């Protein structure tokens, strides 16, 4: 797992490579590198959840960290957020970026499959086809949020992900800090894009 995250193209499953590369290049980004830049601790947290989700006992946190240290040179290891220099921006994205970069900076691509967004093939959270699913979820009898439209639901799911938890995914997996870490402009770009993503339809252009 550590090698596949640190070097996605070191082994590409047949049929899943970037088109035209003869399965030599993976579409998955190296998630310890910019713009995602997960620290070793964050990578270990993701891997632990992957084990738990499959009902398998995970290796210890320390063992997972050591496995990443084998594949990621020290110079290439991002620092944890708490270790970043004072004065560093607290925003993940300010809204000036293209929407695919916003998804990457917010690390959405690590947990979700998002049609049309390069590298967004995560399975920790639900596939994001909100142009179809948002309205369905608002009508769900178990929905306890306040959204009245798909756009409102998407915004709510970002800033208050516990308002409706898509089954079979557990609550408290998605961070609840995006309302503070993404600018209003960045949030609007995400909402506008996801509102256009519909099941079975070509994704919108970036």
What topology is assigned to 95-206 in CATH? Cytochrome Bc1 Complex; Chain D, domain 2 (1.10.760)
In DSSP notation, the chain reads: -HHHHH-GGGS--TT-SPTTTTT-S-SS--TTSTTT---HHHHHHHHHHHHHHTT-PPPPHHHHHHHHHHHS-GGGPPPPGGGSPTT----SB-S-S-HHHHHHHTTHHHH-B-TTSTT-B--SS----HHHHHHHHHHSTT--S---SHHHHHHHHHH-GGGS--TTSPTT-S-S-HHHHB-HHHHHHHHHHHHT--TTSPPPP-
Q: What is the pTM of this model?
A: 0.59
Confidence of residue 184 (pLDDT cuts 50, 70, 90): confident
Q: What is the mean pLDDT of the chain?
A: 87
Q: What percent of the chain has pLDDT over 70?
A: 93
For residues 162-172, give the mean pLDDT. Answer: 91
Confidence of residue 94 (pLDDT cuts 50, 70, 90): confident
Ranges of CATH 1.10.760.10 domains, the chain: 95-206
For residues 91-104, give the mean pLDDT. Answer: 89
Residue 80 has a pLDDT of: 59
């Amino acid at each position: 797992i550590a090698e596949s995250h640190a070097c996605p193209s070191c082994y590409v499953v047949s049929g899943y490579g970037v088109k035209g590369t003869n399965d030599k290049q993976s579409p998955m980004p190296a998630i310890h590198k910019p713009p995602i830049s997960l620290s070793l601790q964050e990578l270990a947290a993701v891997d632990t959840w992957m084990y738990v989700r499959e009902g398998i006992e995970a290796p210890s946190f320390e063992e997972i960290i050591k496995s990443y240290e084998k594949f990621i040179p020290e110079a290439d290891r991002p620092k944890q957020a708490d270790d970043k220099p004072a004065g560093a921006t607290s925003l993940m994205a300010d809204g000036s970026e293209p929407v695919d970069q916003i998804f990457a900076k917010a690390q959405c691509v690590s947990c979700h499959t998002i049609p049309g967004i390069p590298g967004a093939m995560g399975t920790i959270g639900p596939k994001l086809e909100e142009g179809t699913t948002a309205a369905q979820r608002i009508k769900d009898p178990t929905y306890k949020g306040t959204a009245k439209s798909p756009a409102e639901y998407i915004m709510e799911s970002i800033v208050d992900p516990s308002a409706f938890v898509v089954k079979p995914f557990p609550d408290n997996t998605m961070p609840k800090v995006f309302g503070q870490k993404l600018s209003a402009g960045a949030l609007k770009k995400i909402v506008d894009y996801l509102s256009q993503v519909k099941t079975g339809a070509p994704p919108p252009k970036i």
